[in-house]
Amino acid sequence: MRVFIILLAMAFSVIARAQNSINNYKYVLVPERFDIFKNDDQYGVNTMTKYLLEGVGFKAYMTDEPLPAELANNKCGALKAELVEKKKFLATGLILVLKDCQGTVVYQSQEGKSREKEWQAAYTEALRNAFVSLNAAQYKYDSSTSIANTAAVASTSPAATTPAVVNTTAAAPVISAATPAAVSDSKDILYAQANANGYQLIDTSPKKVMTLLKTSQQDNFIADNGVDKGIVFRKNGEWYFEFYKEDKLNSVKLNIKF
């Protein structure tokens, strides 16, 4: 009996350690509305959060989207994304928080800040800056230590006469500071042609170079140029295409004619 209790305690210890690592989660659920806002997908922040999470490497879903069977049958296999707003004078601050199904904080980003005066531009910039620290954390899903697998092992492991030695000392994650993406400038003029779901951008050839899908917020689009997927948005009257490539945030200024 004493050996069984020791093994059970060890199993719970392993599970607790797994829950403290974002690498043990494949999925993140993004709500339709964050608590800091009054409307669904206000300023396009929810949609942008989903695609920034996918840029880091997670499989992200809005809570009203159809979920894969693996996740639908076990919601504890996903983290839940939340945003915390830091009130500041003449500035906007956002912190990304990822919680497990028990409400325990698994990850909290460094504060992303913006001094933009326009609300949409401010939230967009603050959110992108909050993701800098998550990108620096170098997330990589590890299926061998996922929450579902760890729980299954804990429930099916037979009792042993000699308890295994478990190293319960977890190294604190080191998150190095990262600088925001440098903006490159595309001189090519792109012409926007409207379609049912948004626009297609064509060059002077003419050749289609990018697809823009509408979101619930004006001037925020889901973008795909056939190689990279990201977002296109307007800031201070200029259009930008931002995407992750090899774990690096890239930002390209576009010359779009609507």
Tell me the per-residue pLDDT of 161-210, one tens digit each, with 9 for 90 and over. Answer: 444 444 444 454 544 444 556 677 777 888 888 888 889 898 877 788 89
Q: Which residue has the higher pLDDT, 87 or 162?
A: 87
Tokens of 97: 């928080």
| Contact indicator for 53, 46 with CB cutoff of 8 Å | no
Return the domain boundaries, the chain: 1-179, 183-257
Question: What residues contact 161, with CB distance under 8 A and at least 6 apart?
Answer: 3
Asked if pLDDT for residue 139 goes beyond 70, the answer is: yes
Residue 57 CA to residue 201 CA, distance in Å, equals: 27
* Fold designation for 1-179: Rossmann fold (3.40.50)
Q: What does residue 73 show for φ and ψ, rounded to 5 degrees?
A: -85, -10
Q: Average of pLDDT values for 44-51?
A: 91
Q: Average of pLDDT values for 153-158?
A: 44
**Residue 34: closest CA among 82, 104, 85:** 82
pLDDT band at 99, cuts 50/70/90?
very high
Residue 23 CA to residue 11 CA, distance in Å, equals: 19
Q: Average of pLDDT values for 143-170?
A: 50
Confidence at residue 51, expressed as pLDDT on a 0 to 100 scale: 87
Model confidence pTM above 0.95: no
Residue 155 CA to residue 158 CA, distance in Å, equals: 9
The rounded mean pLDDT for the chain is 80
Query: 77-86, pLDDT tens digit by residue?
Result: 999 999 999 8
Confidence at residue 137, expressed as pLDDT on a 0 to 100 scale: 87
pLDDT band at 20, cuts 50/70/90?
low
Strand runs (DSSP E) across the chain, as ranges?
27-30, 59-62, 78-88, 91-99, 105-108, 112-114, 183-195, 198-202, 208-214, 220-224, 229-235, 238-245, 248-257
